[in-house]
């Protein structure tokens, strides 16, 4: 009798760790939660919404290969692989952004030894008009910091001025650096500190240029951007709990944040901005992107319901505790 009950407990405990099936399958609305399906993308370290292709997000591995991937948020599938030429071998690509000129900027700015490189690089190339595997000719910019070498993982391009900013990464807080008004491909581009920031793993400007979101492994804050600087202490951006939380960007219309993480089959989670209007194209009764209008805990990274998963987990715990009580009575 007791052996049989213990077997039931084992089965119930195993059920607690079974994944909840996704609530949606196949193609979904653009700009909702999605899972990066490409097995080559195991360390997605930056994320940027395409300016030319709605619903597509550019990302890259934290690696030494000059590869950029375009991922369709409707399916999670890679729809373009870009190979940069005209640049050296990347060392530690950490960030990506799209500028007002339609160019893609890639930040090869990582330095895990926090000062081992006396310079880092930014790569820049026009966003392709066609989504297909192709080679793109990129410019390479040498970057130094006015106050010496440091580690960084966040590169942001202002959508109105085109100025490039970098946030350094330090546990106790780093600095926000502004680049020159125009980057030079023939000389050194000196980035100068303009303010203090918390521990940052990525950041992005809103499409209207009036806000800046910065994230860390455990949280994210959105700041007002005024006169070329952060204004105020910001507000929570509602970052979801993720494995290695590495990336953030805005949706193309600025109505939501998209939070990404590293790892194979990593999830990208949409979190609506608190004061955001209804998603573009919404009509009464029309489907919204998964996660739209919900709290970050309401939808899992693959479109499954985390609420359902919680109920399953709670039910399993109740089942196990009940069986244990029966065991104690039988002793």
Pair (264, 126) in one structural domain? yes
Count, residues in the chain: 331
Pair (157, 245) in one structural domain? yes
Q: Which tokens in the block code for residue 168?
A: 């350094």
CATH code of the domain in which 69 resides:
2.120.10
Supply the pLDDT for residue 114.
74
- The whole-angstrom separation of Cα 70 and Cα 219 is 26
Q: How would residue 278 be classed by pLDDT, with cut points 50, 70 and 90? A: low
- The whole-angstrom separation of Cα 122 and Cα 34 is 28
Buried b (16+ CB within 10 A) or exposed e, 227-250: eeebeeebeebbbbebebbbbbbb
Burial tier of 294 (Cβ tally within 10 Å: 0-12, 13-18, 19+): middle
Pair (284, 239) in one structural domain? yes
Pair (13, 101) in one structural domain? no
Is the pLDDT reported for residue 121 higher than 50? yes
Which of 203, 225, 205 lies closest to 215 in space, CA to CA?
A: 203
- The whole-angstrom separation of Cα 115 and Cα 238 is 32
Which DSSP helix (H) or strand (E) runs through 323? helix 306-330
Burial tier of 38 (Cβ tally within 10 Å: 0-12, 13-18, 19+): middle
- The whole-angstrom separation of Cα 19 and Cα 9 is 18
Q: In this structure, are residues 176 and 165 in contact, taking their beta carbons and an 8 Å threshold? A: yes
Pair (191, 99) in one structural domain? yes
Pair (146, 255) in one structural domain? yes
Which of 64, 60, 152, 62 lies closest to 113 in space, CA to CA?
A: 152
Q: In a 3-state reduction of DSSP, which class is residue 312?
A: helix
* pLDDT per residue as tens digits for the range 133-189: 999 999 999 999 999 999 999 999 999 999 999 999 988 889 999 999 999 999 999
Pair (1, 128) in one structural domain? no
Q: Which tokens in the block code for residue 260?
A: 């990404």
Q: Please tell me the total count of domains within the chain.
A: 2
pTM of the model as a whole? 0.78
- The whole-angstrom separation of Cα 4 and Cα 2 is 5
Pair (77, 169) in one structural domain? yes
Pair (205, 326) in one structural domain? no
- The whole-angstrom separation of Cα 273 and Cα 19 is 28
Pair (2, 97) in one structural domain? no
Pair (15, 95) in one structural domain? no
Supply the pLDDT for residue 11.
35
Pair (135, 243) in one structural domain? yes
Supply the pLDDT for residue 63.
80
Is the pLDDT reported for residue 132 higher than 50? yes
* pLDDT per residue as tens digits for the range 27-72: 789 999 999 999 999 999 999 999 999 999 999 999 889 999 999 9
Supply the pLDDT for residue 158.
98
Domain that residue 58 falls in: 29-299
């Amino acid at each position: 009798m007791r052996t049989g009950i213990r077997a039931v407990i084992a089965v119930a405990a195993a059920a607690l760790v079974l994944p909840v099936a996704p609530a949606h399958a196949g193609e979904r609305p653009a700009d909702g939660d999605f899972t990066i399906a490409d097995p080559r993308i195991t360390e997605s370290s930056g994320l940027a919404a395409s300016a030319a292709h709605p619903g597509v997000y550019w990302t890259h591995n934290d690696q030494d290969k000059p590869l950029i991937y375009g991922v369709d948020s409707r399916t999670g599938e890679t729809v373009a692989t870009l190979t940069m030429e005209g640049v050296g071998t990347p060392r530690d690509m950490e960030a990506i952004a799209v500028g007002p000129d339609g160019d893609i900027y890639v930040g090869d700015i990582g330095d895990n030894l926090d000062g081992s490189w006396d310079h880092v690089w930014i790569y820049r190339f026009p966003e392709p008009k066609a989504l297909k595997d192709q080679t793109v000719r990129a410019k390479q910019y040498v970057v130094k910091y006015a106050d010496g070498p440091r580690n960084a993982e966040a590169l942001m391009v202002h959508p109105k001025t085109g100025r490039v900013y970098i946030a350094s990464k330090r546990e106790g807080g780093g600095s926000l650096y502004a680049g020159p008004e125009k980057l030079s491909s023939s000389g050194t581009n000196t980035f100068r500190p303009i303010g203090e920031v918390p521990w940052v793993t990525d950041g992005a400007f809103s499409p209207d240029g009036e806000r800046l979101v910065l994230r860390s492994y455990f949280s994210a804050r959105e700041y007002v951007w005024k006169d070329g600087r952060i204004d105020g202490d910001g507000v929570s951006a509602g970052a979801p709990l993720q494995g290695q939380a590495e990336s953030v960007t805005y949706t193309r219309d600025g109505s939501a944040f998209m939070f990404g993480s590293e790892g194979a089959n990593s999830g990208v989670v949409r979190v609506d901005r608190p004061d955001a209007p209804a998603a573009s194209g919404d009509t009464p009764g029309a489907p919204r992107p998964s996660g739209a209008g919900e709290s970050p805990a309401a939808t899992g990274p693959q479109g499954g319901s985390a609420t359902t998963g919680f109920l399953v987990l709670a039910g399993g715990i109740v089942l196990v505790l009940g069986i244990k009580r029966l065991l104690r009575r039988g002793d």
